Amino acid sequence: MTLEVISAENLDRIIEMAWEDRTPFDAIKAQFGLTEEQVIDLMRRNMKSSSFRMWRERVHNRATKHVKKRNAEVDRFHCSRQRQISNNKISKR
């Protein structure tokens, strides 16, 4: 998927996943085919500059956003409140 052909629904989901601290860039790549650099570019183009700077400062070198830097105890891609945030009624067991 290239940045030019992302649907509004997928764009919202990619931004949501990028904001989540526990969702690594590798999960975004697996689901949408976007590299970390493409996600950063997408965030830069679709956010206010102040919001982008705040997000970029937060995720820069964050261990949970990079699978290779993660602590082995982190075994999930979403935060514990994900169901409440997305109103997803389907629980994964």
Instruction: Write out residues in the chain with pLDDT < 50, as ranges.
Output: 91, 93
Cα–chain center distance at 84: 17
At residue 48, the pLDDT reads: 94
* Cβ-Cβ contacts under 8 Å for 65 (sequence gap 6 or more): 21, 23, 24, 25, 59
The tokens for 64 are 């949970």
At residue 67, the pLDDT reads: 60
- Give CA–CA dist 70/72, Å, rounded: 6
The answer to whether the predicted template modeling score (pTM) of the entire model surpasses 0.95 is no
